[in-house]
Structures are given as C-alpha cells and as structure tokens.
Amino acid sequence: MTKITFFLICLILVSSCNNGQNEINKPTVEVRYQDGKAQLFRNGQPYFIKGAAGTDHLDKLAMYGGNSIRTWSLHDADSILDSAHRLGLTVTLGLEIGRPAWGNDFSYWKFWEVDKKIDELRPFVEKYKNHPALLMWGVGNEVAEYGGGKRIIVFYIINKIAKMIKEVDPNHPTMTAVDVTMKPNRIFSYKYILSHIDIMGFNAFNSFDKMYDNIYGKRGWGKAYMLSEWGAIGHWSVTDTEWGAPKELKNSEKRELMEKYWDTMEKDTSLYIGSYAFYWGSKHEATHTWFSLFSEDGAETESVHFLQNAWSGKNTKNTATQITDLFIETTQGPVSDNVYLTGNQGYSAQVNAFDFEEDSISFRWEIRREEYYLLEPIEANYNMQHLIQENNGKKIKFQAPNEEGPYRIFVFAYDGQGNVASYNIPFYVLIK
C-alpha cells in the first residue's frame, strides 16, 4: 500500500466518522435551505406547521388534522406540553418578553436588568429543552410594540435572549413574532440584528399584502417565516360607529376571509413553513366573540370547520347555523348601524338565521357594556340579562340601560349539533 493510498483511506475514514458524528448531532428540529427554499425538519422528517394559537380543545385540534399549537408564555407549560404530546401535537413554546411580564417601568436600555431577566429564563429553557412535544421557542410577541425602549434596542435584546437559548438548547429553532405592518426598513434591521432568530413569525390578519415585501423585498427578512397569528380582520382595521365602537363581522364573513387568506398563504412555496390560526378557544379582545373560534361554552364556529377542511381535506358532517341579519326596532324602523336608544325605554331586537341541515335552532341573547380597553374584559362587562323582558327566540323585547354610554347586543344561534353562529350590534344610550 502506497503512502498516498493510505492517506486517502484515512481521509475517507475520517470523513465517514465526521459524517456519522454530524448525523448524531443533527438538531431535533431545524430549518434547512435548498435552492432558495426553506423547509422545517423534525426528527429528520419534513414538518409543515398546521397549527392554532391557543391551548383549549387540543383533542379537536388533533382530530381535525392540526399538528401544532402556539403559546405566548410559560404559564401551565408542563400540562400543555404533556397534553400535546399525548395527542401527537407539537408546541411552539412562548417566552414572555418585556411588558407586561417584565414590569410596567421596565426599560430595555437598562442592560443590567435585562441580563437578570435572561438569567431568570435560562432554567426554564433547561427544563423544557428535552420535552418531546417542543417544536421551537417563541421569543416574545410583538415586543417592539409594547414600548420600553427603541426598536433597535428591543431587537438587540430579543437576539441576546435567542443566543442564550441556542447555548442551552441547540436542538430547537428560535422564533419571534412581529406585527406584519412594520415598515420594510425596520424589517431590514431584523435580518442583521436578529442573527440568532431562525424563523420570523408574522402576526397578520388583513395585512397579507404588506407581508411579502417584508419577506422577499430588497430589505426583506429573506429567511424562513411563519404566520404566527392569522384569522379574521382585526378590530383595529374595521369601520367604527360614530362613537368609536368597532363593527364586528358575522361568522360567515369571518370564514370567507380565512378562506381567502389561506389561499394566499398556501401559494408561497419558498420560505413559508406553516401557520397558527388565531384563536383556538374563546378569547376576549374587543368582544368575547371577535377572534374566538369557539364560543365560551365550547360550541364550534364555521371557521373551525374551514380549518378542519384546510388541514385534513375532510368536511364537517354538520355545518353551523348562519345568521343573515340582526337589527333593533326604533322609531326610524329596523336599524343596525349607528343605533341610538333612549335610556329606560323599551325596544325589540330580531335575528334572521337559517340552518343548511334544517336543524332546530335555539337562540341566546346578551346585552353588555362596550369595552374601551380592548384586550381584556372590564369588571363592568357582564351579561345584563335583567334588561331582557321577553324572549321569543328569534325576537326579544328589552329595556335600554338607564346609564348613558355605549353597549352591544349579542345573539348566539345553536343548531343542537355542537355548532354556533354569533353576531352583535353596538348601540349608544342617551338619557333625556
């Protein structure tokens, strides 16, 4: 055997050893790039996220073809991860960064405080890094929108946290979620400041047209991305009443928008790795129905049925009732837009609805105060059932509240098959 032959054999053996070592050291979850395309891999197999944001009804998520959930914090993380694993689901586990969790007076430029907070997060990364349901780490949600420092400082801190995560857990990617409407020049800064973020999460509702330039444009992100929140149009984008109450869509209108957005999302086969529909459960934001894919009592909206079809290709066996109209009778006749009522006076409200399967429909009515703080219910927000004087199902008679201000009347239509439709009208009470 010549020296050259011996040297070549040694090179092959070393190369084989290295390749074996590389295979052993392959991350559990990673993003791979080939021919300008991004693909998420889990345990060596391609993995496309068909997920929902929220932690309720996980059994239905798995049953309907979803494969992942997203959280915004470590609250109840043990139970959520264990439940997801039993159902074959994965979790993008959120680390709550910045306000409000870090304190109302917290400022990102106080680096000594930031370092302390990062050290507080490290044990949680250690604790959950080997959980079989963990898909990736969600490092904050729209943190730059919450204040506490200049955007560039906020991004720097997010990257610093992501760097710590990678040191502790090299086996799972990092993601941070941002508002898709940020201007491209700010997106440009992400690419370099957020060097330890593997995946960009865009919270996008009716702003899909702004998203793609932020990804593929000259100053775009240019790496793997997901839709970290998506769903019906947000309360910040709709037409308001004359007194500033956002007008919520019917469930059928929400579903139509989700279908439109889904078709747009699925056309991107380059850097798109999946999405999380918002919100899988019941959540109060503007109203208790705005983003909720389920009612408070667990009934399914038709948007859930759409997701079932999108994820699995299967249609639901029984569709939800549809509400076509809701109005309040006044001296000007039936109205549903910019409705002014006189305090303590009697009125009637009526809903029109139908069911495709001709199931028997039952109705539930609510009257609530309008919210000015949109992200959580205020103490005064409760169902003022005492104002409903007569209930005939499709039609009620009620007394307007005796206090001036904004309110809403809600109606829920149940088909007896576990499905629900809802709609509401804002109204304003004047005291004579």
For the cut 60, the answer to whether the pLDDT of residue 21 exceeds it is no
Beta bridge partners of 419: 300
* Phi–psi pair at 198, nearest 5 degrees: -85, -35
Among the ranges given (18-27, 157-166, 191-200, 255-264), the one the predictor scored with the smallest mean pLDDT: 18-27
Greater model confidence, 187 or 79: 79
pTM exceeds 0.85, yes or no: yes
Class of domain 26-312: alpha beta
pLDDT at 210: 77
pLDDT average, residue stretch 362-368: 97
Average pLDDT, the chain: 88
Residues 52, 63: Cα–Cα separation, whole Å: 13
pLDDT higher than 70, residue 14: no
Between 266 and 190, the higher pLDDT residue: 266
My answer on whether omega of the bond before 279 falls inside 30° of 0, hence cis, is yes
**Residue 217: what pLDDT?**
84
Q: Strands (DSSP E) along 102-147, which ranges?
A: 134-141
pLDDT at 205: 87
Please report, for the chain, the start and end positions of each structural domain, with discontinuous segments joined by +: 26-312, 322-430
pLDDT for res 19: 40
The CATH code belonging to domain 322-430 is: 2.60.40.10
Average pLDDT over residues 204-208: 84
Per-residue exposure over 315-333, b if at least 16 CB sit within 10 Å of its own CB, e if not: ebebbbbbbeebbbebeee
Over residues 343-356, mean pLDDT = 96
Between 98-112, 202-216, 410-424, the lowest mean confidence (pLDDT) is in 98-112
Query: What is the predicted pLDDT for the residue at 373?
Result: 57
The reported pLDDT for the residue numbered 371 is 76
Q: What is the pLDDT of residues 267-296, one digit of tens each?
A: 999 999 999 999 999 998 899 999 999 999
Give the whole-number percent of the chain exceeding pLDDT 70: 88
* Maximum CA extent, the chain: 108
Mean pLDDT on 93-121 = 82
- What pLDDT is attached to residue 22? 39
pLDDT, average across residues 360-388: 82
